[in-house]
Amino acid sequence: MIALFRLLPRSLLWICLVLCSVSNTPVLKAQDWIRTGSGLSGQRIRLAAADFKPVGGDPQVPVLKASFDATLYNDLANAGIFDMVSKSMAPPVTPGSPQEINLTQWAADPANASMVAFGALSASSGRLVVNGWVFDAKNPGSPQVLGKQYNEVANEDNARLIAHRFADEIIARLGGGVNGIAETKLYFVSARTGTKEIWAMDYDGQNQHIVLKLGTTSMSPRISPDNSRLAFSSIGKEGWTIRMYSLELGRPVAFPAGVPGGSNFSPAWSADGVKVAFSSARSGDPEIWVADSSGGNARKLTAFRGPDVAPTWNPKTNSQIAWVSGRTGLPQIYIMDADGANIQRMTDGGYAISPSWSPGGQFLAFSWNRKYGPGAPGGQDIYVMDIASKRWIQLTHDAGSNDYPSWSPDGRHLVFERAIGRSTEIWTMLADGTEQHALTHSGKDFMPNWSWK
């Protein structure tokens, strides 16, 4: 998303705009409501992930096993719903089958595991075979919770892929039926090659690679719900346009609505993939427009003085759009019906931008400087607001300028941009603000977007 407010010096905005009052909504010290709404609440399951047993003498096995073991453990640790048993507390055994596991050892101190993931890994004739199980250590009479077999070409990428798939199976089975995110992708902008281009990576920061190289500045990548197309804004001979790239065809495809007149920014997909909303200045002021995903039937939704930018759809109902508007002065977050009716202001002060709607439709994440203005220094941080009550919590504190949050499809995680000095990286955290860590390290990475699945 490109906020047009970012294109103007803030000092200039202060000459032209009246400072909005700071919100009087109380900060909730307890974050129980966000944990409950995002599925992070309740007692975490104590889960052990045993190192898998190597089978056979293929020379690839040690490398494949090391990659698999590390990926599986990290995926489960990142899920936010498990209390992981440290490898140092695990019994000194490597069970490769149900007949080889001693549940009493795993259930006893120091491991004290409730559940144990274990299995065997082999390579033969260029194929990697993994058999994995999850057993309930507290129910030795009927312990099996999950059993899976995977068979792929033997290489390190597929060892990671199988680990992601097994982790997602475990998370879905033990996490209330919510699908895991280990196979999801993150799309982002990187200038590490000298030009701001669209890149992608695995959800955990691995496998970073360029998606398309246009040789010009590209911004605001947004992946379609079916993962087949990328919408983004790019500058060219026609100015700033909304462009579309087919990941299936490996080439750009037409999007006529994104070209005509004015600057066109910040595309956003509807949850069914049928519509794309975006900001366009073709009629004068930047307004929110919506078009078919093929680029036809473009129509304007807003008509107010001041910029309207950064739309995002309610993925649960597909009937509402949140966006940023400067109609009352400094940018604030608003919501409206998908036809432009029933406009409601959500924030009431400071400098609020970059909304992202949670998969369950309950929350908005956004970037907010609540104390923006002379004499009241503040910070640009990530906040989450409960839409029904307008309660909010601050997730980032005293760590650079934080912007462009994007929800994971399980609603338990957020990815965002953090700028410290001249270095900007992609970070991730749980939806309650805990377990923050960087995914990129080039110093030139921006505007992340999490895939829908």
pLDDT tens per residue across all 453 residues of the chain = 334 454 333 322 322 332 232 334 444 444 788 999 999 977 899 999 999 999 998 999 999 999 999 999 999 999 999 999 999 999 998 999 999 999 999 999 999 999 999 999 999 999 999 999 999 999 999 999 999 999 999 999 999 999 999 999 999 999 999 999 999 999 999 999 999 999 999 999 999 999 999 999 999 999 999 999 999 999 998 899 999 999 999 999 999 999 988 899 999 999 999 999 999 999 889 999 999 999 999 999 999 889 999 999 999 999 999 999 999 999 999 999 999 999 999 999 999 999 999 999 999 999 999 988 766 567 899 999 999 999 999 999 999 999 999 999 999 999 999 999 999 999 999 999 999 999 999 999 999 999 999
pLDDT of residue 206: 97
Closest CA to 310 of 337, 293, 344, 335: 335
Indicate if the alpha-carbon torsion angle 31, 331, 280, 7 is positive or negative: negative
Contact 268, 228 (CB under 8 A): no
pLDDT of residue 88: 95
Closest CA to 403 of 444, 443, 436, 356: 356
| Lookup result for tokens 């992202």 | 356
Tell me which amino acid residue 96 is. Answer: G
Count of C-beta atoms within a 10 Å radius of residue 152: 15
Radius of gyration of the chain (CA): 24
Contact 2, 241 (CB under 8 A): no
Strand order, beta sheet including 351-357: 351-357, 363-369, 381-386, 392-394
pLDDT of residue 43: 86
Residue 114 CB contacts under 8 Å (≥ 6 apart), including other chains: 45, 46, 47, 107, 136, 137, 138
Indicate if the alpha-carbon torsion angle 29, 32, 37, 40 is positive or negative: positive
Q: Is 332 helix (H, G, I), strand (E, B) or coil?
A: strand
- What separation in angstroms does the CA of 259 have from each of 51, 264, 265, 302, 435? 53, 7, 10, 19, 41
Distance CA 245, CA 241 (A): 13
| Lookup result for tokens 């019906």 | 337
* Interstrand relation of 115-124 and 45-49 (parallel, antiparallel or unpaired): parallel
Distance CA 437, CA 426 (A): 9
pLDDT of residue 314: 98
Rounded to a whole number, what is the distance in angstroms from the first to the last CA of the chain? 20
Indicate if the alpha-carbon torsion angle 51, 53, 57, 60 is positive or negative: negative
Distance CA 421, CA 415 (A): 20
Give the residue ranges of DSSP H helices in 6-95. Answer: 10-16, 32-38, 61-78
Residue 361 CB contacts under 8 Å (≥ 6 apart), including other chains: 314, 315, 316, 317, 387
Distance CA 289, CA 311 (A): 9
Distance CA 294, CA 66 (A): 45
Torsion of CA 260, 261, 263, 267, to 10 degrees: -20
- C-alpha 123 chain-centroid distance: 34
Contact 328, 305 (CB under 8 A): no
pLDDT of residue 375: 64
What is the maximum alpha-carbon separation in the chain? 75
Give the burial class of 397: count Cβ atoms within 10 A of its Cβ; 0-12 exposed, 13-18 middle, 19 or more buried: exposed
Closest CA to 105 of 142, 57, 140: 140
Distance CA 433, CA 384 (A): 9
